[in-house]
Amino acid sequence: MPQPYSARSRAIEPFHVMALLARANELQAAGHDVIHLEIGEPDFTTAEPIIKAGQAALAAGKTRYTAARGLPELREAISGFYAQRYGVNVDPGRILITPGGSGALLLAASLLVDPGKHWLLADPGYPCNRHFLRLVEGAAQLVPVGPDVRYQLTADLVAQHWNEDSVGALVASPANPTGTLLHRDELAALSASLKARDGHLVVDEIYHGLTYGTDASSVLEVDNDAFVLNSFSKYFGMTGWRLGWLVAPEAAVGDLEKLAQNLYISAPSMAQSAALACFEPQTLEILEQRRAEFARRRDFLLPALRELGFTIAVEPEGAFYLYADISAFGGDAFAFCHHFLETEHVAFTPGLDFGRYRAGHHVRFAYTQSLPRLQEAVERIGRGLRSWQG
């Protein structure tokens, strides 16, 4: 008999939502009208100026490897974006272009985590974060967080949960699945708490740009030594292009470049050329229109779900998710999601994908469908609640 597969591969859990998605696709193939509120992907296609830039890059033969850090002109454009949007000066030499935000997380985890060492992570949180840590033989030290701290790690929680194996903390602002932000003073307090413990602060800013009624602060406004993960997938709408970036302290760049050379050689060259169009005024105008549309969707779905009896204790300020407590309806989240998929053909995600703390009592709705589709979903959910409770 061959040897078993690696312990790390066995320890990494699948997405529960993928089983629901497979079933949703089966129902759709059978002719049912399924409303997809389960996937964290904007329903808009990539903006036309970006597509045209990608087509031009292909036509010009820009299909070869780039440097491991990425195209210099793209790193310069991102640096300019930080200056324009946040008023911070980020040397382009500190920016590495990666294959999606996942590539940035892989680099950061590989650089900062030795076997057996931990990052503190909020529970609930994005599941891949803890799985990447396991991949590099580290671990996620999950910290239960609730509405009282807006589902975010705080400086006090870092102090309470830090131990001899802790080497850093990874936070997200806006966060998946809750949509909550860490404001400038909270980022500063986290930074001070980590520095006092010689720990690293890593901040996922992947949903920056998708905030409503407020602007998100970058951790780089208060901590020049923090590591920042970002992506072209969400605000810039380039999910399938697989492009992201990592901002790192200058001293870390050499080791990160070495890792990038070995792990993936370079990010996709065509995507990098296309992404140069992201920062043009006509593109940003399109993206801001889309942000306004997401705000309208949130402002409809949030009160509608509350009226149906879902508890959403904290109003999300960003991303495109609502994290809802279903305790009022009894049962467990996975069965709850299956009920609505099978009876009403509305798909949303069980909290089990996002951690352990009260996960069975929560579901996540992604408002990545048009307003009429969301209105139809609410009608179906209301009908499904009657059959669930009946």
pLDDT at 277 exceeding the cut of 70 = yes
**Mean of the pLDDT values across residues 106-111?**
98
Work out the pLDDT band at 82, boundaries 50, 70, 90: very high
**Mean of the pLDDT values across residues 13-38?**
90
Q: d(Cα 273, Cα 57) in Å, to the nearest integer? A: 6
pLDDT of the residue at 7: 92
Work out the pLDDT band at 390, boundaries 50, 70, 90: low
3.20.20.100, 3.90.79.10, 1.10.540.10, 3.90.1150.10: CATH of 7-45+283-387: 3.90.1150.10
Which residues have a Cβ under 8 Å from the Cβ of 372 and sit 6 or more positions away? none
Q: SS3 of 229, please?
A: strand
Does residue 124 have a cis peptide bond before it, meaning omega lies within 30 degrees of 0? yes
Q: Nearest 10 degrees: CA dihedral of 360, 363, 235, 220? A: -40
Give a three-class secondary structure readout of 303-335: HHHHHHCCECCCCCCECCEEEEECHHHCCCHHH
pLDDT at 251 exceeding the cut of 80 = yes
Higher pLDDT, 290 or 389: 290
pTM assigned to the model: 0.96
Residue 241: name the closest of 16, 50, 3 by CA: 50
Where do the CATH 3.90.1150.10 domains begin and end in the chain?
A: 7-45+283-387
H or E, element range at 28: helix 16-29
CB 148 within 8 A of CB 195: no
What tens digit of pLDDT does each residue of 185-226 get?
999 999 999 999 999 999 999 999 999 999 999 999 999 999
pLDDT of the residue at 54: 98
Name the amino acid, one letter, at 213: G
pLDDT of the residue at 27: 95
Where do the CATH 3.40.640.10 domains begin and end in the chain?
A: 48-280
Q: Which CATH architecture has domain 48-280?
A: 3-Layer(aba) Sandwich (3.40)
pLDDT of the residue at 354: 95
